[in-house]
Amino acid sequence: MNMKQWLQVEYLPIPLIALMALTRFHHFGDVLHLPDASLAVFFFAGFYRKKAFFVFLLLLAGLIDYIAIANGTSSWCVSPAYVFLIPTYAVMWVAGRYCSKFKSLNAYELASSIGLMTLAASAAFIISNGSFYLFSGRYTDLSWAQYFARVVKYYPPYVGFAMVYGLTIYLIIKLFKSMPNTQTAYKEI
């Protein structure tokens, strides 16, 4: 199997699962850890158009969170609002599913995909952040001014990290798609 085949849709779950497993332990990352890539993972998982993979990734995210908390990571984000991660990730998955129709990754298709990914990540932020502030029980006396001050603080890294991962994955795919098929090259020799 050549490298180009690994980036075809049927092989993409392996690196997506690995990326989630390696990054989900620290949401914004730190000096020793990469930031969470879950939004980008769910976006590219949408390319499969298989609901079973979406459900698998949800269960994997929950398992990783459980293991992280059991090993000392703060459980601050686990609250009644945690269930809203399902629609949060569904937004990313549906956007990825829509973008899966783009096959050539020309400038127009790439720009459309990046634009939709940005829009989906923004919607995901509204769902996850809004539900946390409304239903977690942690911010009972939070004013709108305080809420928007927190949005300004957390929105850029939330969407920014998703975009960095997304752009990196698209760049890798574009590079591999531009490589000549090694099997064809060997047949011509």
Q: Considering Cα of 45, then 51, then 53, then 57, what sign does the dihedral take?
A: positive
Taking the CB of residue 98, how many other CB atoms lie within 10 A of it?
Answer: 15
pLDDT tens by residue, 135-161: 888 788 888 888 888 889 999 999 999
Report yes or no on 187 lying in a domain.
no
Q: Considering Cα of 135, then 139, then 143, then 149, what sign does the dihedral take?
A: negative
CA-to-CA distance for 165 and 120, rounded, in angstroms?
Answer: 14
pLDDT band at 10 (very low <50, low <70, confident <90, very high): low
What six digits make up the tokens of 27?
Answer: 């949401």
Total of domains in the chain: 1
Report yes or no on 37 lying in a domain.
yes
CA-to-CA distance for 186 and 189, rounded, in angstroms?
Answer: 5
Q: Print the domain residue range for 137.
A: 3-182
pTM for the whole thing? 0.85
Report yes or no on 144 lying in a domain.
yes
pLDDT > 60? residue 4:
no
Report yes or no on 74 lying in a domain.
yes
Residue 65's identity, in one-letter code, is D
Report yes or no on 188 lying in a domain.
no
What six digits make up the tokens of 97?
Answer: 């599913």
DSSP letters, 21-78, are HHHTT-SS--SSSPPP-HHHHHHHHGGG--HHHHHHHHHHHHHHHHHHHHTT---TT-
Report yes or no on 98 lying in a domain.
yes
pLDDT tens by residue, 99-125: 988 877 788 988 999 999 999 999 999
